[in-house]
Amino acid sequence: MSRTVVVLNGPNLNLLGQREPEIYGHGSLDDLKAATVVRAKTHGLAADFRQSNDEGELVSAIQAARGSAVGIIINAAAYTHTSVAILDALLASDLPVIEVHLSNIYKREEFRHHSYVSRAATGVICGFGAHGYELAMDAMAQILDSRKAK
Ligand code: DQA
């Protein structure tokens, strides 16, 4: 059975491709999902790729991952900058967490420079557009391999 990495996407990411394409690109969330699933497979992993506009739903998905997944890749979108609830759920998960953003949040408005999610993340990948999700999956595979080797 493949080990599952939960890939969580926060609010407004369902509008990828239509929403500010100059910042977030022209690809859709389905395109992103397809590329992430393929990349996971190359590492012998399964990607459980989800999106929600609802903070509580994201918290519940993180809690569910605790018993069923081997890691979490998360683009919490705007909740990145506001949500202590998502941070607490990630800290409680006891799983490796990788934070991802399509845009380079440090190049943008100051309110995007602070991330609650980062306090729970092994690392952050931002500014590489959709490719960042594949990079995050590569990094997750490496983290999981190094844990197995111990
Ligand atoms: C984002 C960056 C956030 O600041 C923003 O609120 C998003 C998307 C990104 O992927 O670049 O919705 O997480």
Is residue 1 very low, low, confident or very high in pLDDT (cuts 50, 70, 90)?
Answer: low
With a Cβ cut-off of 6 Å, ligand 1 is lined by 12, 75, 77-78, 80, 101-103, 105, 112
Amino acid type, 1: M
Domain that holds residue 121: 4-149
For residue 116, what is the domain's CATH number? 3.40.50.9100
Is residue 96 very low, low, confident or very high in pLDDT (cuts 50, 70, 90)?
Answer: very high
Which pLDDT score, from 0 to 100, does residue 147 have?
86
Distances (CA, A) of 31 to 95, 101, 106, 116: 26, 16, 25, 27
Nearest atom (ligand 1) to Cα of 75:
13
Mutate to test the pocket of ligand 1, among 36, 75, 113 (most ligand atoms within 8 A of CB): 75
pTM above 0.85, yes or no: yes
Task: At 55, list the tokens.
Answer: 């903070």
Mutate to test the pocket of ligand 1, among 80, 118, 133 (most ligand atoms within 8 A of CB): 80
CB-CB contact of 121 with 99 (8 Å): yes
Contacts of 94 (CB under 8 A, 6+ apart): 66
Domain count, the chain: 1
Which pLDDT score, from 0 to 100, does residue 32 have?
98
Average pLDDT over residues 3-30: 95
